[in-house]
Amino acid sequence: MKDGMIFPFKTTWRSRLDLEYLDETSGRKIEARKGQYQSEDEADPAAVGKKLKQFADYASKETLGQVHAGGFLHHKIILNKDGSQTSPFAMSNEERKKRICTAWMDHLQKFKSSSSNPVIQHRLIFTMSTAFHDKLVDAGINPDIVLRSSLKTVLNRFQQRFHPKDAIGYAYGLHHDTDNLHAHIAICPRTANGAYVGVSMSRSRESGNKNQMTFLMRTFERENRRWDKLLSDPEKLKETLGRRLNADKISSHPKITPNQMEALNHDQSLYATRLRHAYQSIQELEAALQKKRQAHSTVRILRRLPRLLGRKKPMPIRTIEKITGAVDKYSIREVRSLLYRMKQTYREDHQIYCQHYGFPTSNQHHAHHQSPSQRL
């Protein structure tokens, strides 16, 4: 689709496993960008994302370069040697890449190919058009989350179509280092049960291939149409997003720069005060939510310790812990739901404020010439 997300091409690697290309901030990617841009500043990780319009409205430098595992590989990398589990979000990016590579190669060793030059990985790229990207941002939606959600949906359907009752494994990373947001994906050539995973484009009956690429592209196009339909109906979009567990993450809100905040602090009007307080409340709630998640994760780890040490807790204590855990989860969901609603209200106030006053810099304090009846 010209104005949606595009499935451009695929390559197959037989020489070695290389997941560094998934990380847009890796040394390998920085060196590659130096050949594309005239200045070294543009190739630096700090400059990544500048080419995307409104990038700062929904993403930050902390989200750049993250490599994630999907499918059966996700379950493999969270396992520790002592039998415990660690959430991928609790790992550093380098640790995740290291675990993915180890799990990947161990899996291929378990299901060795008879070929003298076996496939190590399939590489795919999903690209988002600038028009579609900006349409999402204008609707208050995080394009990163949409692209990530779409690639997971497409690969899940690919698994259901070609490997039912089995599981594929893959790794991916989002890239903001070009004019178009895109995702690099690496697919493991063996399923969890050892079946070969092909990503063929052949249509001949003699080859025995199933033309998986056509299926992937058509599935991706269906995802485009689904989002396009939602974007054309604001009320339906709001209702749909509100039901998502990650509603607080997929909903983006315009950032306020330090200069803009200073200008707001000098403006004592009701509208400036309301916007300033709403922005600060969102930041505080996001920080509180992060602390809740960290505390919940720590408690889960502590609860596992007796089991790892071979000790069994009394039933009443286990029951209380289960109830407490359920309450914690509910509490986190409630905070996420509240955060989503706050972002929606803030976004509406921000839009109204900008329409009437704009956002001057700190040395250009508001000089409102409208009469009270003209303001909002």
d(CA 73, CA 167): 9
143: which residues sit within 8 A by CB, 6+ positions away?
58, 128, 133, 136, 137, 181
d(CA 124, CA 151): 10
Q: Which two tokens stand for residue 349?
A: 């106030």
Q: Where are the beta strands (DSSP E) in the chain?
A: 5-13, 67-71, 121-128, 169-175, 182-187
Question: Residue 203 carries which DSSP code?
Answer: -
The amino acid occupying position 124 is: L
Other beta carbons within 10 Å of 295: 12
d(CA 361, CA 119): 56
d(CA 282, CA 291): 14
**Contact, 264 vs 153, CB < 8 A?**
no
28: which residues sit within 8 A by CB, 6+ positions away?
20, 21
Question: Residue 89 carries which DSSP code?
Answer: G
Q: Would you put residue 358 in left (φ > 0), alpha (ψ -120 to 50) or beta? A: left
3-state secondary structure 244-284: CCCHHHHECCCCCCHHHHHHHHHCCCHHHHHHHHHHHHHHH
Rounded-to-5 percentages of helix, strand, coil across the chain = 55, 10, 35
Tens digit of pLDDT per residue, the chain (376 long)? 455 666 667 788 787 788 888 888 887 777 776 666 656 666 566 666 666 766 666 766 667 788 999 999 999 999 888 777 888 887 888 999 999 999 999 999 999 888 888 899 999 998 888 888 888 888 888 899 999 999 999 999 999 999 999 999 999 999 887 788 899 999 999 999 999 998 887 655 554 557 788 888 889 889 988 998 999 998 888 888 888 878 888 888 888 888 888 888 888 888 888 888 999 999 898 888 888 777 766 766 666 666 655 666 666 666 665 666 555 665 777 888 888 888 888 888 888 888 777 764 333 333 333 333 333 3
Q: Which two tokens stand for residue 67?
A: 């490599």
Coil, strand or helix: which one is 109?
helix
Q: State the DSSP H helix or E strand holding residue 30, giving kind and residue range, or none if neither.
A: helix 27-34
* Alpha carbon distance, N-terminus to C-terminus of the chain: 39
80: which residues sit within 8 A by CB, 6+ positions away?
86
Q: Where are the alpha helices (DSSP H) in the chain?
A: 27-34, 40-43, 72-77, 93-110, 130-138, 143-162, 212-231, 234-242, 247-250, 258-266, 270-308, 315-356
Question: Residue 11 carries which DSSP code?
Answer: E
**Among 276, 271, 295, 298, residue whose Cα is nearest residue 376:** 271
How many residues are present in the chain? 376
Q: Which two tokens stand for residue 184?
A: 């690099």
The amino acid occupying position 274 is: R
Sequence spans of domains, the chain: 5-250, 258-356
d(CA 155, CA 145): 15
Q: Which two tokens stand for residue 79?
A: 């396992």
Coil, strand or helix: which one is 112?
coil
